[in-house]
Structure 1
Amino acid sequence: MGDWIVSLSGTSAGETLALVLALSAALLHAIFGALQKGRHDPIISRGAMDSAYFLMMLPFALWVVPWPEPHMWPIFAGVFIIHTGYKLLQAAAYMRGAYTVVYPVVRGTGPLFTVFGAYLLFGETFTLTQWLGVAVLLAGIFGLAVYNLIHITVERDTLVPALWLAVATGLFVALYTTFDAYGIRASTHPFTFLVWFFVIDGWLMPILALRRARKLGLRPAPGPLALRGVFGGVVAIASFGSVMLATRLDKVGEAAILRETSTVFAAAIGYIFLKETVGPRRLFLMALIAAGAVIVEAGG
């Protein structure tokens, strides 16, 4: 299957598959973010999910996919450092700010930085129409964040540091998006990169989560936490795997922009599951996000 993925790179079929994968990653990433922000402490939730996908992928890494080439190990070291920074910043932002305020800021700054990173690393450029789409999408994302900032009353005292942490997290989103794209393109076998990514990325957060639980004296019920971990682990594999394959098949910048329609899905999740209201203004802003993504894709 890895050879088939490689053969589609640069073709019209590959572009179509990249579009489907990026939009799938958007929905899945919104679900993943809600799981981390939800019932348990964000670091503990993330630790449970990381341990789940580590254990799921370890047998595939050892006995199924080809082993990584020697030149991939320094790349995996970079991946580990960047993703660890991203996860710690994301957890810190979630601990201080409401989900529907923090999430749009993270996802809005991420693609903007990614577009420039893709230009510097891969020489990718956008047309004037695509830049218009980027502007429309970012207007919707940041407009949604400002609207939520004005109207949401929970966690107001820590909201300003949460927003700064969200911007920093967005920078790390751009770093991991471009660096992961570099890594999966450097590997002869795309699925080797994906499987080993989850193994290398998944061992640290469970340790940090255990230390945090002991420090705070938290004893979460093991059943619900394990269930959240397994479900989140599956979602993470599907989400991060989809967007990495999308960047292998097509432009990194376009995949990053399309993934940020996750903000629309996040708002829907906030309304349905977190009981956060969605009025006509927020619906209009979400429509801007979707329209911006459509313009970027059509403009290419």
Structure 2
Amino acid sequence: MTEWIAGIEGTEAGHRLALLLALAAAFLHAVFGALQKGRHDPWLSRGAIDFSYGAMAAPVALFVVPWPEPHMWPIFVTVFFIHLGYKLAQGYTYTKGAYTVVYPVVRGTGPFFAVIGAYLLFGETFTVTQWLGVGVLLAGIFGLAVYNLIHWQLDRDTLRPALALAVLTGAFVALYTTYDAYGIRASADPFTFLAWFFMIDGLTVMPWLAATRWLRMGDRPDLGPLMLRGLAGGFVAFFSFGAIMMATRLDKVGEAAVLRETSTVFAALIGWLALGELVGPRRLALMALIAAGAVIVEMGG
């Protein structure tokens, strides 16, 4: 598998596979966000999810894939702190804002920064048509933010900080997207990077923060349903984060990052169908505008 992936990197076949992986990551990341934002406390959900995927990755990292090369350890340390910052920002964002309000801003802000990061780190450039797509995407993002500021009635006292935190989280999304792409390209075996990333990221901080939070609660939720949600989220995380990391190894980082943000449409549907959050035609149109910008970027490449 590793040799086959190395053989299609930078080819048309690699581009097509990266396209499919980015679209899969879009849907799965919307599911992942809904699992964290669902009926459980977002911090508890994240801790259960992290523990699940870390525990599942540990035997693969330790006994199946080749061990990382010496130069990979500083990369893993940097990746760990970037993802920790992302998860803390995301947790506070979901605590203060409704899922369908903050999720599009998080996922829409990320690719703009990712395109800049991909240029600085990998020398990737966009065509005029692709920059037009980025502009359409940003119009949808800021249009959605303004619409929410004017019309959203729930949690009005926390809406502004929730949107600000959503932008910060989007910046972390861009940072981890570009640096993870650097890390998976620096490893001789991409599956070594993925397995060790999930083990280190999953078993270190968030499960312990979640356990401490659970112990301090007066009305503690049952661990059974919480861990079941964590197990489901762990499997989704493997395929969601793993798919986008592999896509950035096979093809351009900026294009993969932008195309993944079609997840905003999936998020709207999930928020409406699963979480009972009203979307409305105007907000749905603005989310579709974000997705349209991502499609323009892909078609203009």
Give me the TM-score of the superposition, normalised by structure 2. 0.97
Per the alignment, do residues 286 and 165 of structure 1 end up closer, same or farther by CA in structure 2, a change over 3 Å counting?
Answer: closer
What is the distance in 1 between the residues matched to 2:174 and 2:196? 21
- In the other structure, the counterpart of 1:217 is 218
Shift of residue 277 of structure 1?
2.4
The residue type equivalent to 2:277 in the other structure is E
What is the distance in 2 between the residues matched to 1:137 and 1:202? 32
Shift of residue 218 of structure 1?
4.4
Q: Contact between 2:108 and 2:290, CA under 8 Å: does it hold in 1?
A: no
Question: Could you list the per-position Cα deviations for residues 17-66 of structure 1 after superposition, in whole angstroms to 9, with x for gaps in the alignment?
Answer: 00000010000001111111111111110000000001111110111111
Shift of residue 152 of structure 1?
2.8
What is the distance in 1 between the residues matched to 2:295 and 2:93? 29
- In the other structure, the counterpart of 1:276 is 277
Shift of residue 209 of structure 1?
0.4
- In the other structure, the counterpart of 1:9 is 9
What is the distance in 2 between the residues matched to 1:129 and 1:225? 45
What is the distance in 1 between the residues matched to 2:233 and 2:33? 9
Shift of residue 74 of structure 1?
0.4
- In the other structure, the counterpart of 1:129 is 129
Q: Aligned ranges for residues 195-234 of structure 1 at < 5 Å? A: 195-203=195-203, 204-234=205-235
- In the other structure, the counterpart of 1:140 is 140
Q: Contact between 1:19 and 1:246, CA under 8 Å: does it hold in 2?
A: yes
Local SS of the residue matching 2:68:
coil
What is the distance in 1 between the residues matched to 2:280 and 2:160? 24
- In the other structure, the counterpart of 1:254 is 255
Equivalences, count:
300
Q: Aligned ranges for residues 30-179 of structure 1 at < 5 Å? A: 30-179=30-179
What is the distance in 1 between the residues matched to 2:99 and 2:171? 18
Local SS of the residue matching 1:22:
helix
After TM superposition, the structure 1 stretch with the greater mean CA deviation from structure 2, 151-160 or 195-204, is 151-160
After TM superposition, the structure 1 stretch with the greater mean CA deviation from structure 2, 146-155 or 26-35, is 146-155
What is the distance in 2 between the residues matched to 1:250 and 1:176? 17
- In the other structure, the counterpart of 1:289 is 290
The residue type equivalent to 1:120 in the other structure is L
Q: Contact between 1:101 and 1:149, CA under 8 Å: does it hold in 2?
A: no
- In the other structure, the counterpart of 2:268 is 267
Identify unmatched segments of 5+ residues in structure 2. none
Identify unmatched segments of 5+ residues in structure 1. none
Local SS of the residue matching 2:40:
coil
Q: Contact between 2:53 and 2:231, CA under 8 Å: does it hold in 1?
A: yes
What is the distance in 1 between the residues matched to 2:256 and 2:288? 19
Q: Contact between 1:72 and 1:183, CA under 8 Å: does it hold in 2?
A: yes
What is the distance in 1 between the residues matched to 2:248 and 2:284? 29
Local SS of the residue matching 1:59:
helix
Local SS of the residue matching 2:278:
coil
What is the distance in 2 between the residues matched to 1:218 and 1:179? 40
Shift of residue 161 of structure 1?
1.2
After TM superposition, the structure 1 stretch with the greater mean CA deviation from structure 2, 160-169 or 274-283, is 274-283
How much identity, in percent, do the aligned residues show? Answer: 73
What is the distance in 1 between the residues matched to 2:199 and 2:21? 22
Q: Contact between 1:104 and 1:142, CA under 8 Å: does it hold in 2?
A: no
* RMSD between aligned residues: 1.2
